[in-house]
Amino acid sequence: MKQTDKTRKRTLIIGAGEAGRLLIQYLQMNVSCNFDVMGVLDDQVNEKAVLGIPVVGTLQAIGSVVQEKQIEHIILAIPSLKPREKIAILNRCSETGIQTEIMPDIEAIIRGEGSMAAIQNIDYADLLDRDEAQQDHNKLTPRFAGKTVLITGAGGSIGSEVVRQVAKCMPKTIILLGHGENSIYNIHREMAEKIDSLLIPIIADVQDKERLSEVFSKYQPEIIYHAAAHKHVPMMELNVREAVKNNIIGTKNLVDVSYENHVELFIMISTDKSVEPTSVMGATKKLAEWIVQTKNEEEGSGIYSIVRFGNVLGSRGSAIPLFWEQIKSGKTVTITHPDMERYFMTISEASQLVIEAGSVAKGGEVFILKMGTPQKIIEIVNKLIILAGKKKEQIEMKFIGLRDGEKIKEELFEMEEIAESEDGFAKFYCGKSRAPRKMENIGKWIHLVELMSEDEMRQALLKFANERAVLEKEYV
């Protein structure tokens, strides 16, 4: 048996392709790395050795090779693996009880931006039960080329990714609007170094209609992506008035100013929690959807449509980073309910959906990404345990119960919204508007609600969002 330095970990590399070769070269050149590579596993290589490192078997041999070679550390170096294949291999690694890590992005290493000290945290696409949706930006460019695009909430996790995706479609100007100066500064600085489009950072709050009018009058945006919102379910249960002000009044301000300035296209980002809402956040987003959809009925209107998201992996407020931190540090993982399940999408594909929906919208639709079947939260946690290179038995789970406003399951559409799409969209479902009539009088309802206590406001909000036919008479 090959003699090794006792201070260096006996390491097995999975993958003898380009990534594996690059990794071996990196380790051989960096003597300070604490890894002694004992072998390589690969299903397709015919060589007996890769850069002097013996090929010791196929991927099926992980368990036996770990025992035979007394492996202490495993590195997966096959970036082309589909999520399900990666999870399956990592699960085999997990069964050995050996620490397993995933090689960082190859291009990042070549650029000098990554190293073995920077093993990736989470690739959220690995948590999906399907392939991540991709987008053809060249196909979409004609819709946006030469246009002025305004994005609200541009500094947030969703808004900033919308900025990145829109930028690929060659707009003339991108207006980055948000009320947090640091987040707007960060996305402006990032994009200014990458694109030729004019970038205009605007600090403004959608609750300030006068400020919005100033911005629209000065810059005349033609396309609006509305990502600004309060979206944390338990937090909004405790801050009902702020949810109404930001999600409903803010949306109404933006829609009205957009109409007054003859905007061509308005896409609002919503949530599956607006479907038969049980939470303040979901109810405010439901009313915001109606405000957007009914604007299509006004004479001279542009196109006003909705994109409805499932749970966006890794977005601000997502529980996944918390689970990951709990697992990596060996803490108890806190889950609300064993049957809790959600539809999941990555930030990248969520933002791509927004852009693509904008290219085909005709007005009033609800677009939703085809996300496959919903996944139980506990299944996501189990995948995270595997990705962290640990065994399920090592991690304690505790069920803490549903929080205020939460559902065990979410739906994508209400029954009245479901429509047979003549367009046959490959990537998303397209539902029809079910906004109530007389929605133009929503201002009167808002005025009445603003005079209520928070408890009264919550009751009125949920009642109106779920019983619109009755409450049209009561409020408008």
Residue 224: name the closest of 156, 304, 140 by CA.
304
69, 231, 273, 390: the active-site residue: 273
Give the tokens for residue 72: 């202490």
Contact 104/70 with Cβ under 8 angstroms?
no
> For residue 409, what are the contacts with CB-CB under 8 A and spacing of at least 6?
339, 340, 341, 374
d(CA 135, CA 164) in angstroms, rounded, equals 13
Residue 273 a catalytic site member: yes
Residue carrying the six token digits 């090959």: 2
3-state helix, strand, coil in the chain (%, to 5): 45, 20, 40
d(CA 157, CA 357) in angstroms, rounded, equals 19
d(CA 466, CA 71) in angstroms, rounded, equals 59
Give the tokens for residue 417: 């919204």
330: left (phi over 0), alpha (psi -120 to 50) or beta: left
> For residue 460, what are the contacts with CB-CB under 8 A and spacing of at least 6?
448, 449, 452
What does the angle CA 190 – CA 191 – CA 192 come to, to the nearest 5 degrees?
95
Strand blocks (E) in 198-258: 198-203, 223-226
Residue 345: name the closest of 130, 155, 136 by CA.
130
Q: What 3 state SS string does 332-382 have?
A: CEEECCCCCEECEEEHHHHHHHHHHHHHHCCCCCEEEECCCCCEEHHHHHH
d(CA 116, CA 106) in angstroms, rounded, equals 11
Phi and psi torsions of 41, nearest 5°: -115, 140
In terms of Cβ atoms closer than 10 Å to its own Cβ (0-12, 13-18, 19+), residue 40 is: buried
Which residues are part of the catalytic machinery? 273
